[in-house]
Amino acid sequence: MGSSGSMFRNAFVLACLALVSACTPYLYPQGPASQAPVMTEDAFIMADGAELPLRRWDPEVMLAAGHAGPTAIVLALHGFNDYSNAFDTPARAWSKDGILTIAYDQRGFGEAPHRGRWAGVETMTDDLLNAARLVRDRYPKAPLVVLGESMGAAVVMAAAARYPDLPADRLVLSAPAVWGRDTMPGWQRVSLDLLANTLPWLEVSPQHIRRVPSDNIEMLQALGRDPLIIKRTRIDALWGLVNLMDAAREAAPRLRHDSLILYGAKEDILPADAWQSMIDTLPRNGHWKLRLYSRGFHMLLRDLNAAVVIEDISRYVLNPDALNPTEQEARRPQLRRLPLPESDAAAFPG
């Protein structure tokens, strides 16, 4: 009896282990290379044949016959569960300044392949490298600025660290998602890893989370009606996002590109300690600038105060020295003791 009971328990344990091993997080990385990456009018086609839809907003001056080309180019990466149309409003404003904006749907988002599934840090950074190279080849004379919003900014940071030769003259990081495991409570880390390795297919919805991503309620309601916005998220996609945020935090001390980093004083998606501690790890080489917006939330480019942010980015894209801090601001910020700015923005150098 004891022997048969022991055999039953062992069989049960083995069955549970087999079930768990069959439920590990599932990634959809890039496939084998079958061609050289190509940029068409409506997509970046990657080496494995994956088509990443792109949107472009041509500057008004380019619409005039015989104009030589854009004054500058912004290659933009959207945030988690979003897609390339996130940049419609800022890109229209930048087009008036002669800036061409190109944004693409990253794998797993928008109309890109494997909607709702996570591609992995390596694939996402490879896609950015290839997209930047293609844009540089298409417009070799114009400054290229790579801009990322939230998750997109984390991809930019990870790619810049992984590929020091990333062909970008400057980076713009809007509310970079850097809530890595080292700034999470232990129960969150354990819960996420446990769920990702047992119930990776489980979908969660943010509708009951009491966080405020923006004060632009009309915009948030429009996103809720947009069929290309992902409303329910797989656990293994969240797990992958945290891996990316880990990579972005690890990349911060190696940030060598000239960079403009933007956060809102009313940021409510990322814990203050997560992004402020990331700022503390940035290199003391003067190649980055931090700008804090007193009325800014997480979605800085779509908040009610977005016009201020959009104008600041345009100025930086066209002239990286345009946002130099005032004499009173010319100090490295000690963010944990920094009072919230009373004006629209406060600037700090690296």
Task: Provide the residue ranges of all domains of the chain, joining segments of one domain with +.
Answer: 2-349
- Structure-token match 């690890």, residue found: 250
**Residue 280: other Cβ atoms inside 10 A:** 14
Right CATH number for 2-349 from 3.30.70.20, 3.30.70.520, 3.40.50.300, 3.40.50.1820?
A: 3.40.50.1820
Q: How far apart are CA 136 and CA 104, in angstroms?
A: 15
Q: Please choose, from the candidates 71, 74, 35, the residue with its C-alpha nearest in 3D space to the C-alpha of residue 54.
A: 74
Phi, psi of 264 (to 5 degrees): -100, 145
| Nearest one of 154, 106, 159 to 133, comparing CA atoms | 159
Query: What is the per-residue pLDDT for 206?
Result: 74
How far apart CA 300 and CA 152 sit, in angstroms, is 13
pLDDT value of position 246: 98
Q: Is 1 exposed, middle or buried (0-12, 13-18, 19+ CB in 10 A)?
A: exposed
**With contact defined as beta carbons under 8 Å apart, do 119 and 234 qualify?**
no
- Taking Cα atoms as reference points, which of 153, 164, 161 lies closest to residue 250? 161
Cα–Cα distance between 306 and 66 in angstroms, integer?
Answer: 33
Q: CA-to-CA distance for 152 and 84, rounded, in angstroms?
A: 10
Give the C-alpha separation, 6 to 294, whole Å. Answer: 64
Instruction: Report how far Cα 340 is from the mean position of its chain's Cα atoms.
Output: 25
> Does residue 315 sit in helix, strand or coil?
helix
Give the pTM. Answer: 0.89
Backbone angles phi, psi at 348, to 5 degrees: -140, 140
- Average pLDDT by stretches of 10, the chain with 350 residues: 53 44 82 97 98 96 67 98 98 97 99 98 99 98 98 99 97 98 94 95 82 96 97 97 98 96 96 96 88 96 97 97 59 48 56
Taking the C-alpha atoms of residue 308 and residue 293, their distance in angstroms, rounded to an integer, is: 9
